[in-house]
Structure 1
Amino acid sequence: MSIAVRDVREHELDSILALNNAAGPAILPLDVDRLRRFYDHAEYFRIAERDGALVGFLVGFGSGARHDSSNFRWFSERHQDFFYIDRVVVSSRRRGGGVGRAFYADVQSYAELRYPLLACEVFLEHDNDPVRLFHGSFGFREVGQNIMESGIRASMLTKDMSCSYDWVRQRYGDTLPDADWLVRPRNVAGAEVGA
């Protein structure tokens, strides 16, 4: 019953679309075109499997991306260098079973070597106390709120990773050692995700 986190594969996009759009009001719906842009351009797009079955996914972008999310833009206006978790979705029957924690451990270990700040948001319009508690337990703190174009109010959260990031930068500069676990999760075509 272990959880495996790995890069998404193109043939899994239909299953990811269905999982996203079944997640309920705490996750914005996706269409095929936007999901395809995520696949083609996200810096981090990984899935979680449990017992060989897809149980969730996480999509993230570095601050240099030309990503069209209003929440990403909010962080861009306030922070120069950050890694943004655009969405994390876990199958409803697997929530509370460690999948979210496995994702956040994986994305943090990726991001802290490359960015001094990890950023995400949680919608406030829904009963999201467990989600806010989850993020707080990972060291995220609210740094503001944003009313999205859809009218949804979001709590904007960040986690300072400068301790790890600064040490890595002082020791290695912009060139990380050649080690399998340090390879970028995905080799993407570019960094732009349009509307």
Structure 2
Amino acid sequence: MSIVVRDVREHELDSVLALNNAAGPAILPLDAARLRHFFETAEYFRVAERDGALAGFLIGMGSHSEHDSSNFRWFRERYPDFFYIDRIVVASRRRGGGVGRAFYADAQSYAEMRYPQMACEVFLEGSNDPALLFHGSFGFHEVGQHMMTEADVRAAMLMKPLCSFAWVRDTYGDALPQVPWIIQARGPRNHGGPKAADALMQRPTGTGL
């Protein structure tokens, strides 16, 4: 079955919270209030469906965000313009089935129209080589390390240049074509940031590896 990546819906927040807090030590825990804050403010908050069931989620925001993560601040102190992946979680039964690659392909498709690079981090505590290998295979490279004092965890700080951004900017400026897969969204929870419309983003993506 294909993987469908689309904007999260409000009634799914409890399921998203359960997924996050069952993900293990590679993902910081959330409470309902924090997740609600993401729902109301995050520029990119999408879920993946497979076989009609929730398979994971990804939350991201641009460098203009007021996000209070110390990892986000680390990037913003060093880079003026980027799209930041705060967290990606894939349900344990769906890992290795292409959901992560579908998410990253969708996030890159969104970000490369608006930002010159993508940023994320991978925790270095324990055995996290699969996550580092995954990000390396997707074009990310380490640009430094950061000790997260709030979690007592060291993170590898990763960046990926988005080569299409300069061409899109030079060709279209701020007037992107009004086509479904890049149209910007409506609604108060954008708070001025771009976000693709839910109805238009319910498209299947390739499963990858």
TM-score (norm 2): 0.89
- Give me the whole-angstrom Cα distance separating, in 1, the residues matched to 2:32 and 2:186: 20
**Aligned AA for 2:76?**
S
Which residue number in structure 1 is paired with residue 137 of structure 2? Answer: 137
Q: How many residues align?
A: 191
The unaligned stretches of length 5 or more in structure 1 are none
Per the alignment, in what secondary structure is the counterpart of residue 96 of structure 1?
Answer: coil
Per the alignment, in what secondary structure is the counterpart of residue 30 of structure 2?
Answer: coil
Which residue number in structure 2 is paired with residue 164 of structure 1? Answer: 164
Q: 1:37-59 deviations in whole A, cap 9, x for unaligned? A: 00000000000000000010000
Give, in angstroms, the shift of residue 184 of structure 1: 3.4
**Percent identical:** 70
Per the alignment, in what secondary structure is the counterpart of residue 48 of structure 1?
Answer: strand
Q: Is the 8 A contact 2:43 2:190 kept in 1?
A: no
Q: Is the 8 A contact 2:23 2:89 kept in 1?
A: yes
Paired residues for 1:18-97 under 5 Å:
18-97=18-97
Q: Is the 8 A contact 2:177 2:183 kept in 1?
A: no
1:186–1:119: structure 2 CA closer, same or farther, 3 Å change rule?
farther
TM-score (norm 1): 0.95
Give, in angstroms, the shift of residue 126 of structure 1: 2.4
Which residue number in structure 1 is paired with residue 6 of structure 2? Answer: 6
- Structure 1 vs Structure 2 CA RMSD: 1.3
- Give me the whole-angstrom Cα distance separating, in 2, the residues matched to 1:120 and 1:191: 23
The unaligned stretches of length 5 or more in structure 2 are 194-209
Which residue number in structure 2 is paired with residue 105 of structure 1? Answer: 105
1:183–1:120: structure 2 CA closer, same or farther, 3 Å change rule?
same
Give, in angstroms, the shift of residue 151 of structure 1: 1.2
Give, in angstroms, the shift of residue 191 of structure 1: 6.9
1:145–1:59: structure 2 CA closer, same or farther, 3 Å change rule?
same
Which residue number in structure 1 is paired with residue 205 of structure 2? Answer: none
1:189–1:164: structure 2 CA closer, same or farther, 3 Å change rule?
closer
1:113–1:189: structure 2 CA closer, same or farther, 3 Å change rule?
closer
Per the alignment, in what secondary structure is the counterpart of residue 155 of structure 1?
Answer: strand
- Give me the whole-angstrom Cα distance separating, in 1, the residues matched to 2:136 and 2:18: 28
- Give me the whole-angstrom Cα distance separating, in 2, the residues matched to 1:185 and 1:131: 31
- Give me the whole-angstrom Cα distance separating, in 2, the residues matched to 1:73 and 1:55: 29
1:67–1:191: structure 2 CA closer, same or farther, 3 Å change rule?
farther
- Give me the whole-angstrom Cα distance separating, in 2, the residues matched to 1:173 and 1:146: 34
Which residue number in structure 1 is paired with residue 202 of structure 2? Answer: none
1:191–1:63: structure 2 CA closer, same or farther, 3 Å change rule?
farther
**Aligned AA for 1:158?**
M
Give, in angstroms, the shift of residue 190 of structure 1: 2.2
Q: 1:22-78 deviations in whole A, cap 9, x for unaligned? A: 000000000001000000000000000000000100000100000000000000000
**Aligned AA for 1:61?**
M
- Give me the whole-angstrom Cα distance separating, in 2, the residues matched to 1:175 and 1:103: 25
- Give me the whole-angstrom Cα distance separating, in 1, the residues matched to 2:167 and 2:2: 32
Larger relative helix fraction: 1
